[in-house]
Amino acid sequence: MALHRVTDRGGDAQDIYSTPLSREVLPKYQMPKEASDPRIAYALIHSELQLDGNSSQNLATFCSTWSEDEVHRLMNDCLDKNMIDKDEYPQTAEIESRCVHMLADLWNSPSGRDTMGCSTTGSSEAAMLGGLALKWRWRERRQAEGKPTDRPNLVCGPVQICWDKFARYFDVELRQIPLEPGATGIRPHQLREYVDENTIGVVAILGVTYTCDYEPVEEIAAELDAIMADTGLDVPVHVDAASGGFIAPFVQPELVWDFRIPRVASINTSGHKYGLAPLGVGWVVWRSADLLPEDLVFRVSYLGGDMPTFALNFSRPGGEIVAQYYLLLRLGREGYRMIQQTCAETAQALAEEIKTMGPFTLLYDGTGGLPAVSYTLTDPATAGFSLYDLSDELRRRGWQVPSYPLPANRQETVIQRVLVRHGISRDVISLLAEDIRRSLARLAGGTPSDEAREGFHH
Indicate the pLDDT class of residue 450, thresholds 50, 70 and 90. very low
Which domains are present in the chain? 5-52 (no CATH), 71-328 (3.40.640.10), 341-454 (3.90.1150.160)
Mean pLDDT computed over 151-164 = 93
Q: By CB neighbour count within 10 A (0-12 exposed, 13-18 middle, 19+ buried), where does 293 fall? A: middle
Instruction: Quote the pLDDT of residue 133.
Output: 96
Instruction: Say if residue 230's pLDDT is above 50.
Output: yes
* Closest by CA position to 105, among listed 331, 333, 403: 333
Q: Are 84 and 314 in contact (CB under 8 A)?
A: yes
Percentage of the chain lying above the pLDDT 70 cut: 92
Write b or e for each residue in 353-372: b if 16 or more Cβ atoms lie within 10 A of its Cβ, otherwise e: bbeeeebbeebbbbeebbbb
Tell how many helices (H) and how many strands (E) occur in the chain.
11, 15
Q: Does this model's pTM top 0.75? A: yes
| 405 φψ region: left (φ > 0), alpha (ψ -120 to 50), beta (else) | beta
Report d(CA 232, CA 219) in Å as an integer.
Answer: 19
**Phi, psi at residue 338, to the nearest 5°?**
-65, -45
Banded pLDDT at 117 (limits 50, 70, 90): very high
Of 215, 212, 211, nearest in space to 203 by CA: 215
Burial bucket for residue 94 (CB in 10 Å: 0-12, 13-18, 19+): exposed
Kindly report the average pLDDT of the chain as a whole number: 89
Express each pLDDT in 265-322 by its tens digit: 999 999 999 999 998 899 999 999 899 888 888 766 555 555 567 778 778 888 999 9
Q: CA-CA distance, 307 to 145, in Å (whole number)?
A: 33
Q: How many CB atoms lie within 10 A of CB 55?
A: 14
